[in-house]
Structure 1
């Protein structure tokens, strides 16, 4: 199957991102409702505010990542990926990844006395990892590098367009 253009993996990615945004909105509503409305007595007032703040920032960034990725994928469908807008979108996604990583780290430090942070552990429910801050941080760095590669490719493309 083709990577870009019509009837390609890129077009499938756009469809998947639309589904992710829709399902994400439904899940987000359920999480907010169950956490801050139905079970509001579980969280103390200060806990509730900080948790709501970190969750909201993380959720907003997650949706922005999906929206910006969709914009990039659409340029792949249109066979024109090396644009200034894609460079800007990749840089935005990198920043959003760093913000999400910061939210995870903030959550770890805020709740340091309530639970122990474990990089990876196994219990009767399966294998678990608390590697999200690292994953989002590394993804942010990778996206900054990818944006730089796109910038260089755009420069070469523009130079090639001026050549007879």
Structure 2
């Protein structure tokens, strides 16, 4: 029972993250202008490049959260080891790699310590998702073999 409550909480958290992520992505032109005005003039100097990098990263982040939402549905249905989850993990890994590359580009435009951490974090997340997709693929294969023998 406790585990199901955690899964349901995660589902609502992912919904919140997805819709608030859309708001953040849509408001980027405005918030970047504010950051350039009140936080650092570097944001104003590199407004277009930062807008492109942050917007594309936001889209990739939304793709990751969307795929997690799809996966949590299979957890609630008690049917985790399916091909759609394997595909979701592959897509999430690719999206994480894209974010890592985008922020690697940002290192050359506007380097900050946080940028290096973001590159490393999303690179590791991409590798993790790719490896986990391979594990899920094997689990799906075993499950399908097991379903056929029963």
TM-score normalised according to structure 2 size? 0.85
More strand by share: 1
Counterpart in the other structure of 2:128: 142
The offset of 1:35, in angstroms, is 1.7
Alignment of 1:73-92 (within 5 A): 73-92=72-91
Are 1:58 and 1:103, in contact at CA under 8 Å, matched by a contact in 2? yes
SS of the equivalent of 1:99 reads helix
Give unmatched runs, 5+ long, in structure 2: none
Distance 1:98 1:32, change over 3 A: same
Counterpart in the other structure of 1:15: 12
Q: Distance in 2 between matches of 1:73 and 1:160?
A: 23
Distance 1:26 1:85, change over 3 A: same
Cα deviation, 1:110-132, whole Å, max 9, x if unaligned, reads 225xxxx44xxxxxxxxx78411
Are 1:8 and 1:77, in contact at CA under 8 Å, matched by a contact in 2? no
Larger radius of gyration: 1
Task: Give the number of equivalent residue pairs.
Answer: 145
More helix by share: 2
1:157 is the counterpart of 2:138: no
> RMSD across aligned C-alpha pairs, in angstroms?
2.3
Q: Distance in 2 between matches of 1:9 and 1:152?
A: 26
Give unmatched runs, 5+ long, in structure 1: 119-127
Alignment of 1:62-101 (within 5 A): 62-101=61-100
Are 1:11 and 1:74, in contact at CA under 8 Å, matched by a contact in 2? no
Q: Distance in 1 between matches of 2:110 and 2:27?
A: 23
Distance 1:38 1:10, change over 3 A: closer
TM-score normalised according to structure 1 size? 0.78
